[in-house]
Structure 1
Amino acid sequence: MSWKRKITFLSIFCGTAVGTMHVVNRLFSYLATADDYLHASEYNSYDWRFGKISYKKKGTGAPLLLIHNLNVCASSHEWNRVEDELSRSNTVYTLDLLGCGCSDHPLLTYTNFLYVQMITDFIKDIIKEKTDVIVSGDSSPFVLMACANDDTIINRVAMINPQNLVSLAKSPTKRSKMVKYFLSMPVFGTFVYNMKVNKKTIHQSFVSKYFYNQNEVNEKDILTCFEASHMDKSHSKYLYACLKSRFTNANITFCLNKLTNSIFIITGNSNPENILSANQYQNYLPSIEIVGIDNTKQIPHVEKPAEFVEQIKILFSEAE
């Protein structure tokens, strides 16, 4: 075969491969979002400087902001089993973080500091008064940083299984930056993202990591997470790339001993790592109170919503 034929063959092969990946990407996006499990039209919109932030407001009383886990599959849907009960005594705000759910998914580098500014601006522009915050998982660090950065916006904080401080302090490397570069590529990066984040992998995470009782895993929750991860033509891949490349990490130990807020940690006791991580925070800030919920893992507010709400009421009443 001559070199011209080889080049022609290679060009046709590459073009076909790219075309196939593009079709698969579009199919993934369509299948994931066709049923509208997130009910995007029901959200209010906050036009933030880096993109539209979708949020809901419910109830009356002192403000309470609920912030979901920092994950491409996460959204404010995470709070659907507790928000109604909490709204009986509070004005409850639930939002989708930038790059998640029904909020915009811009092409930018997502960092912990970006979310610090987002939360600060949202509280000042939308809530407009000092608020209590309940935050889930890997979103906990930027809430603490927001507290340290501005002591006028957040009152009490309840963190649910916050991220391990050792893992959180790891910074991006040359290798991780290359991962971010490839995942951000238009067709290839989207295809890899779709292979990594799909109904099967989400279900595996629910069964192995999130839920203690596998019988509690709800198919609708999986489909909702699948939809959230593929909104806006799967542009959540930009956040995914930053998460995988550690750009959302930050060493927050320097700010913990500066905090004067009442801070609580609620752990899923069926995962020993959750207790270890909570103790790390308490070692830096002894005033932190830790409460465990038995027979739960990463999302006790989903597995045992009634017990979770009861604990919140007790903890926040003690801190008044």
Structure 2
Amino acid sequence: MILNQETQATQVYTWNNFQGTYEVIESTETGEKASIALLLIHPIGVGLSRQFWQRFCQQWQGKSQLETIYNPDLIGCGESALPRVAYTPEDFAAPLKKLIEEVIKKPVVVISQGASFPIALELLAMKPSPEIAGLILAGPPAWSIITQEKTEREQRLLWNLFNSPLGGLFYRYARRRNFLQSFSVRQLFEKTEDVDQEWLDMLKTGSEDLNTRHAVFSFLAGFWRKNYEGAIASITQPTLVLMGETASSISRDSDTESAQERIDSYCNVLPNGQGKILPGRNVLPYESTTAFTTACEEFIQQIKSVG
């Protein structure tokens, strides 16, 4: 299924004089049934942008009577503004708050991928109005990572290394197709054959502008790394943790854990959390789209039935 041109059209808003971009996948629901929307937060990495969610958006649109999706490019990614700064999760979250309040104008269920979860946490802390009605965490970081802080000194040392001519050379190397394919096989996908032409073309196109490297380097420098245990414990909204059967951690700092152990670590702290294991590894919305979409649909129906 191909999304029609109308739903794929890039739309624009501004935040602090920077351009933010997003697309809307419209719902067929009306009235009270359309009381919430979905807000997607894509992962940060070489070539990644809102295009990461296209398979999920296609499947969601293929189902009838489902919520409208708002799929933005994070600042520093995709077609959004690409300033040369060291981005923090707060920097990524602040434009999303404006998007909720001035564009979406209804409660949202936030779906975050991987280590973009801290962006969702910072967005929660900003208390947008309308509110966040629920969260879906696709392959969130290992518990030992999400609760382990990197020092400001470590972060700045790494950022200064990346924010140099050496960093530019590294990014040019990292966006080579052979590297992207090898990294995806080693760290992201369960099945080698799922690292397909569509995936590699998406990363190649998304990394063509060298200015996309600043968001990637901010992520690699660890500006998202701090102890979020207290923030997670304060989440009152229903939260679904989805893990791949063979989930792994990219970070060398993480402890070894099974998918169920990671779910348990989160759900033991989340006041209103639940978890589910799906086929796949670390990029469930892309590699296990059908199972992921179904799990999201069922969870959102729970939220709507309670609301």
- TM, length-normalised to structure 1: 0.79
Question: Secondary structure of the residue that 2:282 maps to in structure 1?
Answer: coil
Residue 54 of structure 1 is matched in structure 2 by 21
Alpha-carbon spacing, 1:235–1:172, altered in 2? closer, same or farther (3 Å): farther
Residue 129 of structure 1 is matched in structure 2 by 106
Aligned residues: 276
* Alignment check: 8 A CA contact 2:108 2:133 kept: yes
Residue 73 of structure 1 is matched in structure 2 by 47
Question: Secondary structure of the residue that 2:237 maps to in structure 1?
Answer: coil
Q: CA deviation at 1:286?
A: 4.7
Counterpart AA for 1:254 = G
Alpha-carbon spacing, 1:264–1:217, altered in 2? closer, same or farther (3 Å): same
Q: Deviations over 1:148-203 (max 9, x none)?
A: 43164211111100122432332245354233113212x44312221234222211
User: Is 2:291 the partner of 1:307?
Assistant: yes
* CA distance in structure 2 between the aligned counterparts of 1:191 and 1:297, rounded to whole angstroms: 30
* CA distance in structure 2 between the aligned counterparts of 1:175 and 1:300, rounded to whole angstroms: 31
Q: CA deviation at 1:50?
A: 5.8
* CA distance in structure 2 between the aligned counterparts of 1:70 and 1:280, rounded to whole angstroms: 24
Residue 162 of structure 1 is matched in structure 2 by 140
Tell which deviates more after alignment, 250-259 or 270-279.
270-279
Residue 248 of structure 1 is matched in structure 2 by 224
User: Is 2:300 the partner of 1:316?
Assistant: yes
* CA distance in structure 2 between the aligned counterparts of 1:274 and 1:199, rounded to whole angstroms: 30
Question: Secondary structure of the residue that 2:55 maps to in structure 1?
Answer: coil
Larger Rg over CA atoms: 1
2:242 paired residue among 253, 266, 276: 266
Alpha-carbon spacing, 1:278–1:105, altered in 2? closer, same or farther (3 Å): farther
The gaps in structure 2 that reach 5 residues or longer are: 1-7, 248-256
1:178 paired residue among 154, 157, 162: 157
* CA distance in structure 2 between the aligned counterparts of 1:157 and 1:315, rounded to whole angstroms: 10
* Alignment check: 8 A CA contact 2:155 2:223 kept: no
The gaps in structure 1 that reach 5 residues or longer are: 1-40
User: Is 2:69 the partner of 1:84?
Assistant: no
Q: CA deviation at 1:274?
A: 4.4
Let me know the Cα RMSD of the aligned residues: 2.1
Alpha-carbon spacing, 1:95–1:273, altered in 2? closer, same or farther (3 Å): farther
1:206 paired residue among 179, 184, 194: 184
Alpha-carbon spacing, 1:204–1:276, altered in 2? closer, same or farther (3 Å): farther
Q: CA deviation at 1:273?
A: 4.9
Question: Secondary structure of the residue that 1:73 maps to in structure 2?
Answer: coil
Residue 120 of structure 2 is matched in structure 1 by 143
Q: Deviations over 1:192-234 (max 9, x none)?
A: 2212342222111221222112112211211211221232xx1
Tell which deviates more after alignment, 162-171 or 87-96.
162-171
Residue 75 of structure 2 is matched in structure 1 by 98
Question: Secondary structure of the residue that 2:236 maps to in structure 1?
Answer: coil
- TM, length-normalised to structure 2: 0.82
* Alignment check: 8 A CA contact 1:172 1:245 kept: no
Q: Deviations over 1:106-148 (max 9, x none)?
A: 0112001112222211111211121112111111122133224
* CA distance in structure 2 between the aligned counterparts of 1:239 and 1:167, rounded to whole angstroms: 19
Q: CA deviation at 1:248?
A: 2.3
Residue 265 of structure 2 is matched in structure 1 by 280
Counterpart AA for 1:307 = A
Residue 281 of structure 2 is matched in structure 1 by 297
Counterpart AA for 2:74 = L
Question: Secondary structure of the residue that 1:259 maps to in structure 2?
Answer: coil
Aligned pairs for 1:226-237 (under 5 A) are 226-231=204-209, 234-237=210-213
Q: CA deviation at 1:304?
A: 2.1
Alpha-carbon spacing, 1:299–1:253, altered in 2? closer, same or farther (3 Å): same
Question: Secondary structure of the residue that 2:301 maps to in structure 1?
Answer: helix
* Alignment check: 8 A CA contact 2:44 2:216 kept: no
Question: Secondary structure of the residue that 1:82 maps to in structure 2?
Answer: helix
* CA distance in structure 2 between the aligned counterparts of 1:125 and 1:284, rounded to whole angstroms: 32
Counterpart AA for 2:99 = F
* CA distance in structure 1 between the aligned counterparts of 2:122 and 2:262, rounded to whole angstroms: 17
Counterpart AA for 1:133 = V
* CA distance in structure 2 between the aligned counterparts of 1:195 and 1:115, rounded to whole angstroms: 26
Counterpart AA for 2:274 = E
